[in-house]
Structure 1
Amino acid sequence: MQAYPMMLDDKNEWALLRHQLWQESVEQHQDDIEEYLCGDSNDIVTAFGVRNTSDKLVGFIELNVRSHAEGVTTKYVPYIEGWFVCENHRSQGYGASLVKEAEQWAKERGFAFIASDSQIDNQHAIHLHKKLGFDEVERTVNFVKPLN
């Protein structure tokens, strides 16, 4: 299983996978993907997918380049904004393949780090990050207050 750069042909399957990760409408995901494919996305700099033996898209990873990341002293850090593998294809190496491809992309562009995050209670994601060599550098609780 080799991860590959996402293309126009992946749009519909990719949107359905994004919908499983983030609950926005499939149409909104298709719009976001089209912006990326046209080079107009502010949120996705690059994206990779992975297919199973039946040629079905079963996972993706999306990267942005942020101006900074916790635990990193350099400016401009590739950041995993989205990483998803279908539940019935987990623990088979698909997720690792996606991260490896993202790391290779970052190295080829001269970056020294790659960063990511997870919800504080997502023990599965935290475990996977650590298993793939990520170091936990910080835990936060975010707040918001409406100003009426």
Structure 2
Amino acid sequence: MKFQKTIQVAAPASKVWEVLWDDYGEVCQWASTVNTSETRKVPGSPDGGRTCVSTWGEISEIVEEVDEKNMMYRYYADGLPSMMKSAVNTWKVTSKSINTSEVSIDLEIEFATIPRIIMGWMIIPKMKKDIIQTLEDLRYFIETGKQTDAKIKSDQKYFKKNPIKAA
């Protein structure tokens, strides 16, 4: 499945880049599909990666390329839920004016054969809906500094089932 989407954000490109790249490990602060996230060191990768617990299961990513000048980064998943074989995602931020940016996502996912055949009719539309929601979550977070209702509900549901244990 290939999926590409671009949105406009009412914020300077540098602010968008800060949320997407500088705070890469904090995606759980704004994305409704990600309940927990943290950066990790990856041997052989100067930029490391991140591990996320998402609505799709646990996903581990390795940063493959970062171009800070052109505000672009690409990562691939090295740990995926069993229904997926591979995933590569590219984020790019483009300045349109002083206070307007474009954010584009270019995602390619290969599903495992059996889940694709049996549940593809259900998985693919849900995945596309989740990606669009994630972009809306990003826009809202950057423009308002707040989480979307979808993010708040997702976290409430997740943390009710998985309470944070005190140290």
If the length of structure 2 is used for normalisation, what is the TM-score?
Answer: 0.31
User: Counting strand residues as a fraction of each chain, which structure ranks higher?
Assistant: 2
Structure with the larger RCO, 1 or 2 (CA within 8 Å, 6+ apart): 2
If the length of structure 1 is used for normalisation, what is the TM-score?
Answer: 0.34
